[in-house]
Amino acid sequence: MRIDIVTLFPDFFSSPLRSGLLGKALAKNIAEVVLTNPRDFTQDKHHRVDDEPYGGGVGMLMKPEPIFAAVESLPVRPQREVVLMTPQGETMHQRMFQSFALNCSQLVIICGHYEGVDERVLNLVTREISLGDFVLTCGEIPALTLVNGVIRLLPGTVGKEESLKAESFEASLLDYPQYTRPPLFRDWAVPEILLSGNHQAIAQWRKAQQIERTRDRRPDLYQQWLTDEEDGK
């Protein structure tokens, strides 16, 4: 997969793209991340990428010309999505990451800044995505979240791919409680079932814990799980 990030601050991504599983995946060419700065496509001597909004208002908007030029300079691969990071977009979720990882060969991510982008930029965009119902100083933070969430699902990124199937938000359920050594820590003991060696009983306990935890902590996900169960998914 090729991921193009259109950003005014390419340096923001330098360390994260070299670190951990993400850095290893890029080193193994499981994915390719290309950073493009719209400031490089400005025509004026000051390389201006923002201006005042028509009609008045507080703050500045990113101009359309540099963003269009930056995106149009990129190669176009089949199964391409062009995403704008914006608080007005669809909130990220695991199924979104799964869809991108499975169906996209190219993901173009436009990072907004200032008070946002000129509305005409939406003519470039196939999808608007948000990190959540809050406002950040830049689109780079949610963009990095999206990159991480998608690349970790690509074959070869995670050593034991079966571990991806039992984590939070798979099948609309949160993950089950997990423990490691020592079996007793400050009077808190590991549940006996996990020490039993009975793999069928452990699997049943874990599934019950997932359902209970989701019901108590995320009623919205729990309702989605009930719906999926009724639909036979």
Q: For residue range 141-196, list pLDDT tens digits in order.
A: 999 999 999 999 999 998 656 555 555 566 789 999 999 999 999 999 999 999 99
Domain with CATH 3.40.1280.10 in the chain: 2-151
- Please say whether the dihedral angle defined by the alpha carbons of residues 39, 43, 45 and 51, taken in this order, is positive or negative: negative
pLDDT at 58: 85
Peptide bond into 182 cis (omega under 30): yes
- Side chain identity, residue 28: K
Query: pTM of the full predicted structure?
Result: 0.88
- 2-151 — its CATH code? 3.40.1280.10
Tens of pLDDT, residues 33-43: 999 999 999 98
Element (H, E) at 200: helix 199-217
Predicted local confidence at residue 169, as pLDDT: 64
Q: Which residue has the tokens 């914006």?
A: 86
Residue 57 binned pLDDT confidence (cut-offs 50, 70, 90): confident
- In the chain, CATH 1.10.1270.20 covers 167-231
Determine the topology of domain 167-231 in CATH: Trp Operon Repressor; Chain A (1.10.1270)
24 CB-contact burial (10 Å; exposed 0-12 / middle 13-18 / buried 19+): middle
Mean pLDDT score of the chain: 93
Q: Which amino acid is at 79?
A: Q
CA torsion angle 113 119 121 125 (round to 10): 100
